[in-house]
Structure 1
Amino acid sequence: MASEMFCPECGSKIKAGLSFCPNCGHKLSQINASTKKDDSTITESSLQRSGNATAVQQPKKPLDKRLIGAFFVIIVIIVGGYFGLKDYYQPQKQFNRIITAMGNPDKSLAKYIKTNDPTLQNKISDKNLKPIQKYFEKNKQALAELKTTLQQGSTYNNTYSIEQSGKAWLFFPRYKVNVAAAYVTLSTNHSGVTFYQDGKKLTTTTNANYSKKVGPVFPGLYTFKSGGTISGKKLVNTSNSTLVSGSQNLSLNLRIATFTISGSKGSTVYLNNKKVGVLNNSGKLKFKDYPISNNLSAYLTLQVSGKTVKSKTVNVSNKLAYGYQTISPSFEGVVSKSDAEELLGNAFSGTEYGTEDSATAELFVGQESNSSYNDLLKFFDSFKTNDNIETYNSEISKINSVTPSGKNKAIVSYSVKYTFTTSGDSGDSTKVQQFTYPNAEIVKQNGEYKIQTIGVTQSADWEKDYSD
């Protein structure tokens, strides 16, 4: 609102905007101009103060909540990551991962291995370490022994030791297995023979005394092979060899041999897992001039009660090296011919003397309650009551066959020779008879072979009389 004005001359109250005082006529234009200037000054000053007041009272902006949230997320990740890595790199957990990888070819092993051999150090890779993994995968007991030895801080087979090797993420000790290098020298007995390592050609011999040193390589399971044409015949010698640290020699001579596989008639014969024939009625199959490799192995299979029974695997090469020309793979828990002969021989000779030899009953399943045991006692007792028989004895003359009949059971065919000395009016005489028992049953109980039944015989195979 405009301020009240008074005439400077007469003091009368006047209205703003008048040029002259209505009371005395005094000129008022100078007063109006001064008033307008003061009003303007007041207005501008007021506006300036108002503006300054507004600037001073303006509030500060708050911090962005997203920045605060991101900061806390980063802190959580860092702390969680540290404790997660600390747990992952615990020595025992690292050790467990190492042992698992060493026994599993499907796992990566290179990151856990080191070696002091500078040449071998450059060969560290998952591919080159497969022989270690194949060996321990096949030999679980050896893997268990490795684990125990390394946990004790010792060296296994002078080959494997565990050591700290740097740090992971700058904070956590990292552990690796230090592996010693292996070397092998291959040799053969002919020139023109090619050596192979796991299918890869190494070299070809130029003379019969040629040898090839392979290494350094990592220890483990390797397949070495030699192959060549000798006297027009292609020969191959394959050896699945386990290399250990240090140096070793491996002979891959090319040779042939003649041998016979024997067992139950009708059994199927396998050489190096390949079916090669069937045993004849005599339970035999002969091989002539057969190529012999270091790992030539044989086993039999037989159908028993609708099921296929497999024998133990025999190393033919080793048997031939010890002079055996006839090789007889045995079945698990099935009595051998020699053991059957001894067992039956003791049973017959023991029961000849009746119950005086109580240990004989222990050869039978059920001991004194076994029907075959009691039948033998009665059989020999009948000779004692025969006044014409002066002496008698029995002898197991032959084990004809041993046929698996199930787990820990076998049917045994055997022959017994009986000799009797008789007296009469015409003088003394000796009679010899042989009987065959085709169906005796021998079982394995608690690690020992026992007679279930002695079998039944019908008539003598032959008999002979000798008179004085």
Structure 2
Amino acid sequence: MASEIFCPECGSKIKAGLAFCPNCGHKLSQINASTKKDDSTTTESSLQRSGNATAVQQPKKPLDKRLIGAFFVIIVIIVGGYFGLKDYYQPQKQFNRIITAMGNPDKSLAKYIKTNDPTLQNKISDKNLKPIQKYFEKNKQALAELKTTLQQGSTYNNTYSIEQSGKAWLFFPRYKVNVAAAYVTLSTNHSGVTFYQDGKKLTTTTNANYSKKVGPVFPGLYTFKSGGTISGKKLVNTSSSTLVSGSQNLSLNLRIATFTISGSKGSTVYLNNKKVGVLNNSGKLKFKDYPISNNLSAYLTLKVSGKTVKSKTVNVSNKLAYGYQTISPSFEGVVSKSDAEELLGNAFSGTEYGTEDSATAELFVGQESNSSYNDLLKFFDSFKTNDNIETYNSEISKINSVTPSGKNKAIVSYSVKYTFTTSGDSGDSTKVQQFTYPNAEIVKQNGEYKIQTIGVTQSADWEKDYSD
């Protein structure tokens, strides 16, 4: 509010801002100027006080939004990381990863393995654990059994058990497979023989009774080999062996043997996956003084209708150990000589009696509708209507060959001996004839061998007459 002013001339009270006193007419400009200056000073002072008060009462600035955002991001990462790790280290998921690694040599296994053997504990590495992975990769059924056994909390083959082993990230139980140690003692029958484990030289024998203990090692699939020069001939014995926990012995004797591989003529012979020859016209190939290893195996291949078929693989060493000198690898789904002889023998003897033995028809593809079955019935029926034939019978005298002709099919060459007793004016006589049927076809259907055709014969191989 402005201060009251008075006319300096007459003393009358006047309003501020008037140029002259309304009472006496005195000029008031100096008083107004002074009043304005005082008002201005007062106002300025008031504003200054107000400004100072404002500066003192100014509110705090808000927190930086970026700091708040960063804080929440960190919280999200921590919480998300915890739940992510909790999911990753779930016992079942850990177990699944362990089983997968044990059956796959391309996976890292060392982080999942522990052992109670202090020496073996220092050998834990992906390289040293490959034998375990190779074994389970090759034996899927064993891997499935391992998984089931460990899930039940039991020990597999007295070798593998699953245990908790510390914690991951301080919070989550970590599981590992505890593996028991394996040992193997190698022996041979000569001095100067060198032992190898997976290609690594172990030692050389100094006498024929020398042995070498290997271990502790991890269980699994290993290749052991012995090699030396015996009587001027270099010999090698290689054995792929599966080691389990505990101790085992492995003989790596150096020896030679003579044996024959037989099968369909023209078949190619392989020993330990190496081509070594072809079966001759008699379907045979002989090997003399051949070096024998524990895992010496043989198989045949044969071209059929433009395709190459492979036989089953036979362990030659095992066959020789059981006294077999002739070894005949068979083809999958292809009838063996002994089974072919039994099947054809039952077919011929059964049809001798006509349709009385209805079970005979079941030996043929299509049963009663099979043309070969009906041809045999007619063939033997012709003997019944021959007044000169008193008795007759048939006998499979030999299976000459069995040749694969495709999947579950084979061409069989066989010989049949017929015996007839006849009567006539000159008395009774007996005739024996042998016929060869080179192209019978036997197939495998629903797990059973059946005759597709009995083949065709042209003339007797030989015949003999016997008179009373």
TM-score, scaled relative to structure 2? 0.91
Query: For 2:421, what is the secondary structure of its paired residue?
Result: strand
CA offsets 1:432-451 (integer angstroms, 9 cap, x no match): 11100000011111111111
Query: For 2:333, what is the secondary structure of its paired residue?
Result: coil
Measured at CA, do residues 312 and 5 of structure 1 come closer, stay the same or move farther in structure 2, by a change above 3 Å? same
Which residue of structure 2 lines up, in the alignment, with residue 26 of structure 1?
A: 26
Measured at CA, do residues 390 and 27 of structure 1 come closer, stay the same or move farther in structure 2, by a change above 3 Å? closer
Measured at CA, do residues 41 and 297 of structure 1 come closer, stay the same or move farther in structure 2, by a change above 3 Å? same
Unpaired segments ≥5 residues, structure 2: none
Q: How does 1:17-416 map to 2 (within 5 A)?
A: 49-50=49-50, 52-416=52-416
Measured at CA, do residues 19 and 400 of structure 1 come closer, stay the same or move farther in structure 2, by a change above 3 Å? closer
Q: Distance in 2 between matches of 1:63 and 1:186?
A: 77
Aligned identity (percent) is 99
Measured at CA, do residues 304 and 30 of structure 1 come closer, stay the same or move farther in structure 2, by a change above 3 Å? closer
Q: Distance in 2 between matches of 1:50 and 1:162?
A: 80
CA deviation after TM superposition for structure 1 residue 331, in Å? 0.3
CA deviation after TM superposition for structure 1 residue 16, in Å? 17
CA deviation after TM superposition for structure 1 residue 348, in Å? 0.9
Which residue of structure 2 lines up, in the alignment, with residue 419 of structure 1?
A: 419
Query: For 2:361, what is the secondary structure of its paired residue?
Result: helix
Measured at CA, do residues 359 and 23 of structure 1 come closer, stay the same or move farther in structure 2, by a change above 3 Å? closer
CA offsets 1:275-314 (integer angstroms, 9 cap, x no match): 1111000000011111100000000001111111100000
CA deviation after TM superposition for structure 1 residue 361, in Å? 1.3
Q: Distance in 1 between matches of 2:32 and 2:160?
A: 113
Query: For 2:334, what is the secondary structure of its paired residue?
Result: coil
Unpaired segments ≥5 residues, structure 1: none
CA deviation after TM superposition for structure 1 residue 356, in Å? 1.8
Query: For 1:2, what is the secondary structure of its paired residue?
Result: coil
CA deviation after TM superposition for structure 1 residue 334, in Å? 0.4
CA deviation after TM superposition for structure 1 residue 59, in Å? 3.3
Measured at CA, do residues 8 and 233 of structure 1 come closer, stay the same or move farther in structure 2, by a change above 3 Å? same
Q: Distance in 1 between matches of 2:101 and 2:13?
A: 113
Measured at CA, do residues 45 and 383 of structure 1 come closer, stay the same or move farther in structure 2, by a change above 3 Å? same
CA offsets 1:146-203 (integer angstroms, 9 cap, x no match): 1111111111111111111111111111111111111110000000000000000000
Measured at CA, do residues 38 and 209 of structure 1 come closer, stay the same or move farther in structure 2, by a change above 3 Å? same
CA deviation after TM superposition for structure 1 residue 49, in Å? 2.8
Q: Distance in 2 between matches of 1:21 and 1:182?
A: 129
Q: Distance in 2 between matches of 1:218 and 1:227?
A: 24
Measured at CA, do residues 3 and 203 of structure 1 come closer, stay the same or move farther in structure 2, by a change above 3 Å? same
TM-score, scaled relative to structure 1? 0.91
Q: Which deviates further from its counterpart, 349-358 or 235-244?
A: 349-358
CA deviation after TM superposition for structure 1 residue 387, in Å? 1.3
CA deviation after TM superposition for structure 1 residue 57, in Å? 3.7
CA deviation after TM superposition for structure 1 residue 431, in Å? 1.1
CA deviation after TM superposition for structure 1 residue 2, in Å? 12
Q: Which deviates further from its counterpart, 384-393 or 54-63?
A: 54-63
Q: Distance in 2 between matches of 1:27 and 1:355?
A: 163
Measured at CA, do residues 153 and 28 of structure 1 come closer, stay the same or move farther in structure 2, by a change above 3 Å? same
Aligned length: 468
Q: Distance in 2 between matches of 1:326 and 1:168?
A: 61
CA deviation after TM superposition for structure 1 residue 52, in Å? 2.4
CA deviation after TM superposition for structure 1 residue 422, in Å? 1.3
After TM superposition, where is structure 1 displaced by more than 4 Å over at least 4 residues in a row? 1-48
Q: Distance in 2 between matches of 1:76 and 1:439?
A: 80
Q: Distance in 2 between matches of 1:202 and 1:431?
A: 71
Measured at CA, do residues 23 and 367 of structure 1 come closer, stay the same or move farther in structure 2, by a change above 3 Å? closer
CA deviation after TM superposition for structure 1 residue 39, in Å? 11
Measured at CA, do residues 17 and 398 of structure 1 come closer, stay the same or move farther in structure 2, by a change above 3 Å? closer
CA deviation after TM superposition for structure 1 residue 32, in Å? 17
Query: For 2:50, what is the secondary structure of its paired residue?
Result: helix
CA deviation after TM superposition for structure 1 residue 19, in Å? 24
Query: For 1:300, what is the secondary structure of its paired residue?
Result: strand
Measured at CA, do residues 450 and 46 of structure 1 come closer, stay the same or move farther in structure 2, by a change above 3 Å? same
CA deviation after TM superposition for structure 1 residue 38, in Å? 11
Measured at CA, do residues 7 and 180 of structure 1 come closer, stay the same or move farther in structure 2, by a change above 3 Å? same
Measured at CA, do residues 8 and 196 of structure 1 come closer, stay the same or move farther in structure 2, by a change above 3 Å? same
Q: Distance in 1 between matches of 2:198 and 2:458?
A: 59
Query: For 1:266, what is the secondary structure of its paired residue?
Result: coil
Q: Distance in 2 between matches of 1:31 and 1:438?
A: 153
CA deviation after TM superposition for structure 1 residue 3, in Å? 9.1
Q: Which deviates further from its counterpart, 131-140 or 56-65?
A: 56-65
Query: For 2:116, what is the secondary structure of its paired residue?
Result: coil
Measured at CA, do residues 303 and 8 of structure 1 come closer, stay the same or move farther in structure 2, by a change above 3 Å? same
Query: For 1:312, what is the secondary structure of its paired residue?
Result: coil
Two-structure CA RMSD over aligned residues (Å): 3.7
Measured at CA, do residues 336 and 16 of structure 1 come closer, stay the same or move farther in structure 2, by a change above 3 Å? closer
Measured at CA, do residues 57 and 399 of structure 1 come closer, stay the same or move farther in structure 2, by a change above 3 Å? same
